[in-house]
A and B are shown apart, each in its own frame.
With several copies, the nearest count.
Chain A
Amino acid sequence: MSRYTSATPDDRAEMLAAIGAESTAELFDQVPDELRLNRPLDLPAGMSEAEVYERLAALAERNADAEREACFLGAGMYDHYVPAIVDAITQRSEFLTPYTPYQPEISQGGLQAMFEFQTMMSELTALPVSTAGLYEGPSSVASAGYLAIGATGRRRFVVSRGLHPHSRATLATYSAGFGAEIAEVGLEDGTTDAEALAAAVDGETGAVFLQSPNFLGAVEDVEALGAAARDHGALLVVSCDPMTLGVLRPPGECGADIALGEGQPLGNRLDFGGPSFGFFCGTEKLIRKLPGRIAGETEDVDGRRGFVLALQTREQHIRREKATHNICTAQALNALAATIHLAWLGREGFRELGELLARRTAYARDRLATVEGVELLHEAPVVREFALRLDAPVDRVLDRCAERGIAAGYPLGRDYPEHGDGLLVAITERRTPEQIDALAEALGAAIEAERGAFRSDSGIKAPEGVV
């Protein structure tokens, strides 16, 4: 008997008798012989629970996680503190183990939580309608592209280079499928080049994609940039970091038709990138075009308030090839985590946290800019992440910082060849002023050491992008 099953030999015999089969093998007769595997799978033998634990713990041990390093990595996912009640509640089997709430009478817990989630995201973004969530950030951006085609009939997107590189890449991947062309608009001193954007948008443009704060951490003037979209009847799609929406003007107040983004900062752990969730909010006009589940309020036959999956006529299980999206299993539990986290932060706490981040970020930016060999990559306003230029090879500086137990940031050269010397530094409430000071010291020491190494071996050419 394998773990987790319970059919004893007696059970099997009784069950086969009831079926009228000699053996379970007979049940597989429908599989043609030549297709049968007829050998054991080439996988290790099953292990006891303790052994599996040890094996996985040994793998985990080989990762430098944020419990061990002071983590200044960001780039869309952030090492925020997830309050203990989030785990306690999301690990309750009643939330952890059910399927999508197809039977609303016995799924009110999940459905009401979705409704609360939608309200919170709608409040954060200042847009009237929120879905119950999509997979994650970048694919939500791509989903907005699909929506824009359906809503406008146009197959051309204008995209800021400040949009997360993963979002741009995912939009491109999807566009190859549903058929759309993408024009990219560059950045000027950290923010989207407004003139170039205005020039790029035309009557064929279905959507304009912005991100604020953008990938370099700069807060964009979404309202001003969005004018081009409005003028040409294109949708304005704004990707945002939900954790900044306690202090930044929300997309809905800046003319966005769609606000979306990566939900991880809200109550979800890093998990090497997932699972998290994508949030997706829109205007009233778009309500029947939105992707994914939406919970709605209604009444039961006795007049009791209740919640159901609303507007299912948009969805694949009803509309099949005419659905607004193909999504089925989404990220309900992750959205629940966000809901609990936001309730825990509350109206005041959420704003305070945003302010805390903005202030520590300002401190860190100032502090790091004083380090010899470090300068700001741009001067645009920032609230939780900012970009530097290092006067030494970034990867080697990162290695040296790692030796001190600091993940100093994200090397911009991975995605922006023009910023091979760029380092993106993210701040959360877990990054204390002391850690920021330690980072400053580590960066300074690393740069100095690298310059020394460079000078002492003049045969090596400075890597590209480093002067």
Chain B
Amino acid sequence: MALTQTPMQAEAARTIFEKSKPGRRAAVLPDAGVPESPLEELIPAKLLREEPPRLPEVSEPEIVRHYNRLSRRNFDLDSGFYPLGSCTMKHNPRLNERVAALPGHARLHPAQDPRRAQGALELMWLLQESLAEICGLPHVSLQPSAGSHGELAGLLLTRAFHADRGEARTKVLAPDTSHGTNPASVTMAGYESVKVATNERGGVEMDDLRAKLSDEVACLMLTNPNTLGLFDENIAEMAALIHGAGGTLYYDGANLNAVMGQTRPGDMGFDIVHVNLHKSFSQPHGGGGPGAGPIAVSERMEPFLPCPQVVRRAGENGGGPFFDLDADRPKSIGRLRGFQGNFGVFVRSYAYILSLGGDGLAEASETAVLNANYLKARLAEDRAGKHLPVAFDRHCMHEFVLSGKPMKRELGIATLDLAKRLLDFGFHPPTVYFPLLVDEALMVEPTETETKESLDAFADAIERILAEAEGDPDLAKSAPYTTPVRRLDEVRATRQPVVRQAFA
């Protein structure tokens, strides 16, 4: 029998609401154990809800099946290679989940008195110290909730820093290769975003940078290696320039996985770094979070760090040290969120740092760079080398960017088609169409936790897809075939958005 659709495709998507039936339920609640007075006696009727929200009415077995089956409609890192550039899809150790779930962590109330949360505060302090050492910058705030939150924090620090000197600067520079969150954060922090050009080696065009520097410039935001996966050798000069112009130098730490234990943002001259714990430090991505974006800063930025700050104080009466939340920071930019940050993420990342140790982290970066260069070399062979040239041809760091422009011209398939066809081969595609600078970009980040075999299999798949396309480009253009759904109409989802279940 010839199949026309896979078993999953045969199963139409049904939401949990569509499985609801009046009177079904999963939860059984405890008895209140107190007088069952009518609600109206407790709360004025006008403040009460009339109709309960139309949550689904389903039994527990149905819930489990529903989400279990849904889960199988996801591709995940624990099932296959996920070389999504700029995302550092490295192995997520289950040990970290285990320690994060210990009741002493998981059921600790964030408003607990610091004297009764010494373990948690010490852990945060230890993580701060570790990140400070890794970044080469003395002070750390763990508060930001993700990379972009860290960026915003860094820009607000910059603003406070300048305000403290009586300056009001208005512009923030970032290369045209920068990640979308950079300019978005710039606007959100009340600055104007200015692009700096990229030179032929993939680094910052120094003349353009010089031209754009002025006393209006508050900050230069970079990532190094940059989003092309290339280390900008001019970093020391850039640092001198921006500092000379009175600005701060911000490091987007999304690419830290290339340099741990090899070189440090602080030593390069950066003032502020954010670290994506959900990238280099193995917090699982969760299908879009949670993460955490701690920032490490230089001495001169320290007074402005968010409140509260975790500090170690000398113990009383010769006892051990005492860990505390310090909110008495007059120059602080203040709070960026509730309580102390994404503590559960800190536990996981600290467990990761303990597991690897200093040497292990250095080796992780080294291997990440080795894997990327190997895969780049494999993709320089044969058809990939011809149709998918690397955008800047030199050793890369932990990732590299290919251009699908020749492929599109020569074979008639776009980067998107290649990506979709890769799905049929069981791979998550690389990041596509980013950085914007590179036409038909494919950004490939294998990470250090992949085997040589999986890199080879990926290179082989690309080769096969290109060979296929030489014969029949439509094969890629209509891909994917084997996924639970095939190409989806994204335009419609934006033009006529349906963003919630409609009820009859």
Contact of A310 among B26, B28, B494 (CB under 8 A): B494
Q: CA of A383 to CA of B43 in the docked complex: distance in angstroms? A: 8
Assess whether B24 is interfacial by the CB under 8 Å rule: yes
Query: A144 CB to closest chain B CB, in angstroms?
Result: 13
With A and B bound together, what is the CA distance between A128 and B494 in angstroms?
A: 16
B210 at the A interface (CB under 8 A): no
Evaluate contact between B53 and A316: CB separation under 8 angstroms: no
Name which of A98, A294, A355 has the most chain B CB atoms within 10 A of its CB: A98
Q: Provide the residues of chain B in CB contact with A399, threshold 8 Å.
A: 113
Interface residue total, chain B, C-beta cutoff 8 A: 219
Segment 39-90 of B: residues with Cβ below 8 Å from A: 39, 42-44, 46-50, 52-64, 66-68, 70-79, 82, 84, 87, 89-90
Chain A interface size band reads: 35 or more
> How far apart are the CA atoms of A105 and B479 in the complex, in Å?
10
A residues in contact with B420, CB < 8 Å: 105
Bound CA span A272–B282, Å: 20
| Interface 9-mer from A56-64, A227-235, A450-458, A459-467 | A56-64
Knowing A5-B367, A115-B500, the reply to whether A352 touches B29 (Cβ < 8 A) is: yes
- Cα–Cα, bound, A84→B97 (Å): 8
B102 contacts chain A at the CB level, 8 A cutoff: yes
Within the complex, the shortest CB–CB distance from B382 to chain A, in Å, comes to: 13
* A274 at interface, CB cutoff 8 A: yes
Asked if B366 CB lies within 8 Å of chain A CBs, one says: yes
Bound CA–CA A122/B501 (angstroms): 9
Among residues of A, the one whose C-beta sits closest to the C-beta of B491 is A298
Q: Does A449 belong to the interface (CB within 8 Å)?
A: no
Q: Is B28 in contact with A98, judged by CB distance below 8 angstroms?
A: no
Find out whether the CB atom of B61 lies under 8 angstroms from the CB atom of A4: yes
B235 at the binding interface (Cβ < 8 Å): yes
Most chain A beta-carbon contacts within 10 A, residue among B63, B145, B287: B287
B77's partner among A71, A98, A312, A347 (CB-CB below 8 A) is A98
Pair A300/B489 contact, Cβ less than 8 Å: yes
A15 interface contact, C-beta 8 A: yes
CB 8 Å contact bits of B125-169 with A (1 = contact, 0 = none): 000001001101000000001111101100110011000000000
| B268 and A321 contacting across the interface, CB-CB below 8 Å | no
Chain B residues whose C-beta falls within 8 Å of the C-beta of A56 in the assembled complex: 99, 102, 105, 123, 347, 350-351, 354
Contact assessment for B486 and A321 in the assembled complex, using a CB-CB cutoff below 8 Å: no
**Docked pose: A402 CA to B117 CA in angstroms:** 12
Asked whether B360 lies within 8 Å of A3 as measured between CB atoms, the reply is: yes
**B74/A136 in contact, CB under 8 A:** no
**Complex: A21 Cα to B89 Cα, angstroms:** 25
Query: Contact check: which of B59, B146, B397, B500 meets A6 at CB < 8 Å?
Result: B59
Interface 0/1 of A323-334, CB less than 8 Å to B: 101111111111
Report B179 CB to chain A, min CB distance, Å: 8
A333 to B77, CA, bound (A): 15
Looking at the complex, which one of A28, A115, A353 makes contact with B499 (CB distance below 8 Å)? A115
The interface residues of chain A lying within 8 Å CB-to-CB of B116 are: 63-64, 402, 407
Chain A CB within 8 A of B13 CB = yes
Query: Contacts of B189 on A, CB cut-off 8 Å?
Result: 177-178
Query: Can you list 10 contacts pairing A with B, beta carbon distance less than 8 Å?
Result: A6-B61, A7-B370, A34-B236, A41-B133, A44-B354, A106-B73, A135-B289, A270-B108, A272-B105, A273-B341
5 A-B pairs closest in CB distance = A60-B104, A333-B286, A273-B110, A273-B339, A46-B357
